[in-house]
Amino acid sequence: MPHDPVTVQAETDDAASSTETTVVSGIQPSGQLHLGNYFGAIRQHIALHDQHESYFFIVNYHALTSVQDNALLEAYTMDVATTYLALGFDPEASHLFIQSDVPEVTELAWIFYNLIPVSRLELGVSYKEKVERGMTPNAGLLNYPVLQAADILIYGGTLVPVGADQKQHIEMTRDLAQKFNSTFCPDDAPLFPMPEPLILDDVAVVPGIDGQKMSKSYGNTIGLFDEGKTLKKKVMSIVTDSTPLDAPKDPDACNVFALIKLFASDARRAEIAANYRAGGYGYGHAKKELLGMIDDYFGEARERYYDLKDRPDYVRDILREGGKQARAQARAYMARVREAVGLVTTYE
C-alpha cells in the first residue's frame, strides 16, 4: 500500500537490511517538484533518512544542463530544500545539502571520464532522446551519468532510492565502481561498494495528467504544493476516455485511478475500483475524489512550506551545515581515490 509510511519503511528496510547501508540520492533543482518526484523518490528519502547514514543532495551542477539562468537556479535550489524540510526531513538525522558545496564530486567525475567509452555515454536515455528529437545536446548532458556516479560513490553510497527513469544511471554507476576497483585497487581492497537502486514497483513511473510519465519537461505535472484553482484545473484536465457516466469502466485503464492509487488506503482503493466497474460513477466523480485526497495529503506540509519560505536564512543554515559534513566525508574519500590513482598531492 504505497501511501502508508509504515509499509514504505518495511519495503525500504528490506532493501537496506545491511548495517553498512549508506543511502544516497539527488534531485535536480530544475522546476517545481511534482507528484512523480514525491512518490517515486522523495517519500522513500524521507522514510529512510533517519534510519541509516544518508546523504541527500540538490544537484545544481546537473541542473545546469537545462537551467542557465542564475536567479532561477538559485530559486529552484532553495525550493527543493524548503520542500524537503516541509515534508518532514530532519536535518539532525541526515545530510541535506547542495551538490556544488562539495566540488570534489567534479574531480571524481573527471577521473571516471577516463574509465568509460564515449559510445556508452551516447546510449544514455536523455542524451539519445535529444539527439533523436534533432536537438544539439551539450557535453554536460552526455557526461551527466558520470557526475551522477561520482555523487553516489563519493559518499560510499550503497542504496539509491530513485524512480525507474534512473535505472540506467545506477547501472553505469555500478560499472564505473567496478571499473575503478579493478583498475586501481587490489582485489581484496576495492575502494567503492556496489550501489543498489531502490525502485518500488508500484510508484516506479508515476503518470502525468496526459498519461505519459509525469515530468517537468512534458508539462504534465501536478506540483506537490499546488492548491486551489491551479490544482483543480490540473486535476480536471487529466485525460480520460469518453465512456458515458452510466457505463462500467476499467479502473486500471484510467489515468485518474492511477493517481488515486497513490493516495488511497487499500480499502478505499477497492471501493473506488468497484464503483468504476459498477457504472454510474463518472470520471468527474473520480477527479473530485482525487482532488480531495491531494489536498488532505499535502495540506499540512504546504503550510509548513509557506512558513519556511519566509525563513530562507534558516534553510540556508541547514544546507550549509549539511554541506560541511558531506564535504568532510567526500574529502576523506577523495584522499584515498587520489592515492589509488597516483595523483600526487603535495599539500596536507
Q: Which residues are catalytic?
A: 130, 213, 216
Residue 28 makes contact with ligand TYM by CB under 6 A: yes
Per the document, the length of the chain is 348
Of residues 8, 16, 23, 41, which one binds ligand TYM by CB under 6 A? Answer: 41
Residue 329 makes contact with ligand TYM by CB under 6 A: no
> Under a CB-based contact definition with an 8 Å cutoff, are residues 305 and 86 in contact?
yes
Q: How far is the CB of 162 from ligand TYM (least distance, A)?
A: 3
Task: Say how many residues touch ligand TYM, by CB under 6 A.
Answer: 26
> Under a CB-based contact definition with an 8 Å cutoff, are residues 195 and 157 in contact?
yes
> Under a CB-based contact definition with an 8 Å cutoff, are residues 99 and 59 in contact?
yes
> Under a CB-based contact definition with an 8 Å cutoff, are residues 298 and 225 in contact?
yes
Query: Which positions from 58 to 97 touch ligand TYM by CB under 6 A, shown as an x/- string?
Result: -x--x-----------------------------------
- Residue 151 or residue 289: which is nearer to ligand TYM going by CB? 151
Residue 137 makes contact with ligand TYM by CB under 6 A: no
Residue 152 makes contact with ligand TYM by CB under 6 A: yes
Residue 45 makes contact with ligand TYM by CB under 6 A: no
Q: How far is the CB of 224 from ligand TYM (least distance, A)?
A: 11
Residue 154 makes contact with ligand TYM by CB under 6 A: no
> Under a CB-based contact definition with an 8 Å cutoff, are residues 104 and 154 in contact?
yes
Residue 150 makes contact with ligand TYM by CB under 6 A: no
- Residue 36 or residue 137: which is nearer to ligand TYM going by CB? 36
> Under a CB-based contact definition with an 8 Å cutoff, are residues 151 and 121 in contact?
no
The candidate with the shortest Cα–Cα distance to 37, out of 321, 95, 46, 252, is: 46
Q: Please, which residues have CB within 8 angstroms of residue 151's CB and are 6 or more apart in sequence? A: 24, 26, 57, 59, 99, 105, 157
Residue 162 makes contact with ligand TYM by CB under 6 A: yes
- Number of neighbours of residue 287 by Cβ within 10 angstroms: 19
Window contacting ligand TYM (CB under 6 A); options: 207-215, 224-232, 260-268, 297-305? 207-215
Window contacting ligand TYM (CB under 6 A); options: 22-30, 248-256, 259-267, 309-317? 22-30
Q: How far is the CB of 160 from ligand TYM (least distance, A)?
A: 5
Residue 255 makes contact with ligand TYM by CB under 6 A: no
- Cα separation of 286 and 257, whole Å? 7
Q: How far is the CB of 35 from ligand TYM (least distance, A)?
A: 8
Q: How far is the CB of 126 from ligand TYM (least distance, A)?
A: 8
Q: How far is the CB of 183 from ligand TYM (least distance, A)?
A: 22
Q: Please, which residues have CB within 8 angstroms of residue 123's CB and are 6 or more apart in sequence? A: none
SS3 label, residue 197: strand
* C-alpha dihedral sign at 207, 211, 212, 216: negative
Alpha-carbon separation of residue 78 from 29, 31, 41, 60, 147 (angstroms): 8, 11, 18, 11, 21
Which positions touch ligand TYM (CB under 6 A)?
24-28, 36-37, 40-41, 59, 62, 148, 151-152, 160, 162-163, 165-166, 169, 203, 205-206, 213-215
